[in-house]
Structure 1
Amino acid sequence: MVEEEEFREAEEQDLYEHLRVVVDKGQSLLRIDKFLMYKIENASRNRIQSAIDAGSVLVNEKTVKASYKVKPMDVISVVLPHPPRDTEVYPEDIPLNIVYEDNDVLVINKPAGLVVHPGYNNYSGTLVNGLVYHFQQLPQLPGNDGRPGLVHRIDKDTSGLLLISKNEKSMAWLARQFYEHTIARKYLALVWGDLEEDGTVTGYIGRSLRDRRIMDVYQDETKGKWSVTHYRVLERFNYVTLIECQLETGRTHQIRAHMKHIGHPLFNDGTYGGDKIISGTVFSKYKQFVTNCFEIIPRQALHAKSLGFVHPSSRQFIHFDSELPADFSTVLQKWRNYTSAAQPE
């Protein structure tokens, strides 16, 4: 979305349609500012209300107030005084850590902090900008403009393996495997709390009604998409646990939302409440220890460790594994040292 000054100028200039939504037949009456919060990614209610007040939101080609309640089959347009942003991805010389490459696919080990594809507030400096610099004519899925080569993604602050398609044939082949949940993906995660046994988390993942930046797990199929995460305990450190997560589905923030849902958010995951002490002692020495760990790994402790798939040309199953990045492995060793020092002689 643009600044409020641009909204105010909208009525005085040529207008360009940035969004057009035809309301579903089954839509219940809902305030338009709230309705658009669910349709426009990363837009706050205040920003939407400013756009409505400036006349930048039309319903059936007429301006409305923020209190207007949308009805089935309403046609909603968001118009602004400048054309929609160019969706072309421009090449940038960004180093890529290529684990494997052939004529069909790439496997890349993405560092934490690197955004995968351009989007709101991240129009450059992404992995995709690097891909179009190093490779020509990368394919993209229909309706997936601006994301050439991508058949899946991982979050900005998650490190690990990412699969890239280099041609249309492999794109279709790999996309089908993701759709059928036959891609083998395992993640390592450090979570708060002492998990006693292995388990599975299921539910329908959808955007939180309180904060659209995060995902919640629902039991109502109308509120999200079905999701399954299997986890296995690898190592316990009294107050945190290292687990291996195997994805059966691949929803947005799936592991992060699932572990928060069962009361074990990822270590230092600020979005899902893991950036504060969830379990442990009240002693200042322990608090300082955790603070030091947070400084070492200033992100959620999540790494996409392994990836396996049937190759589009050879039709053979191939598998890749990766080492933990330095920040993650360092924090694990600190927890091992802390736990062993706390054990009685």
Structure 2
Amino acid sequence: MPADDLDETEDESAASAPTAGPIDIEIEAEASAERLDAALARRIPSLSRSRLKALIGEGRVTLDGTLVTEASRKINAGGRIVVDLPAPAVAKPEPEDIPLDIVHEDDDVVVLMKPAGLVVHPGAGNASGTLVNALLHHCKGSLSGIGGVERPGIVHRLDKDTSGLMVVAKTDRAHQSLAAQFADHGRTGPLERAYHAVVWGVPKYMEGTITTQIGRDPRNRQAMAAVKSGGREAITHFRVLETFGAPRPGAKIREAEAGPVASLVECSLETGRTHQIRVHMAEIGHPLLGDDLYGSGFRTKLDKLERIAPEAAEALKALNRQALHAFLLAFAHPSGRKKVMRFEAEMPEDMERLVEALRTLD
């Protein structure tokens, strides 16, 4: 899993997030009049503007010795601002010693391999044992207080049963940078996200783009769906890498058994909607193997697989999840050095075993 290391000789002007305590700022004599929150945001870039507004509202900012609680207060040249930055509050989730597969770590980010079965965020039914709990333990003492709370900055997620690469912010500055990159979806920057998926059948075209709106499925509130209106734009690019189960010339096989059984597909995201790849591949008639939520209508395919390739059927049952793995992740390092970090991860063993078993069909 290669990663580009940061060059230590590059510009290090991007300061790390400040520690708790007073921050004393002298406004330059030639500075123009501007709002207090804007002035602070320019001079303390490691804190978000919303965080600075909150500090002002909490009475933690003075201007020339006078307490100021209005973010819109105009300040003039030569003024003196003091920001009393509190220690980060302890996050509600508790740190837990859960093993993590760390691919890269520095002062700003952690890049890791999320295994299938690990939930990212604590929530209903998953109050503990999540990636956030694991990161709070792993990063103890190195989180600077994102939004004023000691916590890891989650800027993107993977479904519980999807494996693959994730990047997590350790500082407010890194969180802002990464969040902006993911919001831009790589349209103007180096952000890339790509997945390997094993799908039923073979798409009509060997490569293409699926564009729909994705919203909550009106028939199943646990699922998402491609909807005609009221959803959010979703764009997935796909490319067929390999097909499994094409009959050999002259093979004696019933017509009902003919045709490729499955395909290995590479999917890259131009947007990041909930269950996007799973919804889109099902929408074009090729749901992911193992996806009970979006591929329940393909149970007969499993029956066929059991007849013609028992080993592959067993591998699919052992997988016990959707066959989806985030194998590629690239982003600009949030240090401001314009260094592109790029990582690739091999398929986990359970998914690789399925692919190898499917190859025997050929």
* Length, aligned pairs only: 250
Q: Say whether 1:234 aligns with 2:241.
A: yes
Q: Say whether 1:187 aligns with 2:195.
A: yes
Q: 1:304 to 1:139 in 2, by over 3 A?
A: farther
Q: 1:327 to 1:138 in 2, by over 3 A?
A: farther
Which aligned pairs between 1:25-104 and structure 2 lie closer than 5 A? 88-104=92-108
Match of 1:225 among 215, 220, 232: 232
Q: Structure 2: which amino acid aligns with 1:317? A: V
CA contact (8 A) 2:173 2:334 kept: yes
Which aligned pairs between 1:160-179 and structure 2 lie closer than 5 A? 160-179=164-183
| 1:148 Cα offset (Å) | 3.2
| 1:219 Cα offset (Å) | 2.5
Q: Say whether 1:156 aligns with 2:160.
A: yes
| 1:262 Cα offset (Å) | 1.0
Query: Could you say what the CA RMSD is over the residues aligned between the two structures, in angstroms?
Result: 2.3
Give the structure 1 partner of residue 329 of structure 2: 307
Match of 2:349 among 315, 319, 326: 326
- TM-score, reference length from structure 2: 0.65
CA distance in 2, matches of 1:178, 1:309: 9
Match of 2:123 among 115, 119, 123: 119
CA distance in 1, matches of 2:264, 2:327: 13
Q: 1:132 to 1:280 in 2, by over 3 A?
A: closer
Unaligned runs of 5+ in 2: 1-89, 245-259
- TM-score, reference length from structure 1: 0.68
Q: 1:271 to 1:141 in 2, by over 3 A?
A: farther
CA distance in 1, matches of 2:264, 2:92: 41
CA distance in 1, matches of 2:311, 2:296: 15
CA contact (8 A) 1:192 1:274 kept: no
| 1:312 Cα offset (Å) | 1.0
CA distance in 2, matches of 1:147, 1:191: 37
Deviations 1:145-196 (A, max 9, x none): 9973201110000000011001011100010001111120000000011224
Structure 2 residue matching 1:271: 3-state secondary structure: coil
| Structure having greater relative contact order (Cα 8 Å, sep ≥ 6) | 2
CA distance in 2, matches of 1:268, 1:148: 31
| 1:316 Cα offset (Å) | 1.3
Unaligned runs of 5+ in 1: 1-85, 341-345
Structure 1 residue matching 2:293: 3-state secondary structure: helix
CA distance in 2, matches of 1:284, 1:295: 10
Give the structure 2 partner of residue 6 of structure 1: none
CA distance in 1, matches of 2:305, 2:325: 30
Match of 1:317 among 340, 350, 353: 340
Q: 1:168 to 1:146 in 2, by over 3 A?
A: closer
Q: Percent identity?
A: 45
Match of 1:107 among 108, 111, 123: 111
Which aligned pairs between 1:191-210 and structure 2 lie closer than 5 A? 191-196=199-204, 197-210=206-219
Q: Structure 2: which amino acid aligns with 1:193? A: G
CA contact (8 A) 2:115 2:163 kept: yes
CA distance in 1, matches of 2:243, 2:147: 41
Q: Structure 2: which amino acid aligns with 1:188? A: H
Q: 1:280 to 1:98 in 2, by over 3 A?
A: closer
Q: 1:280 to 1:121 in 2, by over 3 A?
A: closer
Bigger CA radius of gyration: 2
Q: Say whether 1:128 aligns with 2:132.
A: yes
Q: 1:268 to 1:274 in 2, by over 3 A?
A: farther
CA contact (8 A) 2:214 2:226 kept: yes
Structure 2 residue matching 1:202: 3-state secondary structure: strand
CA distance in 2, matches of 1:310, 1:264: 33
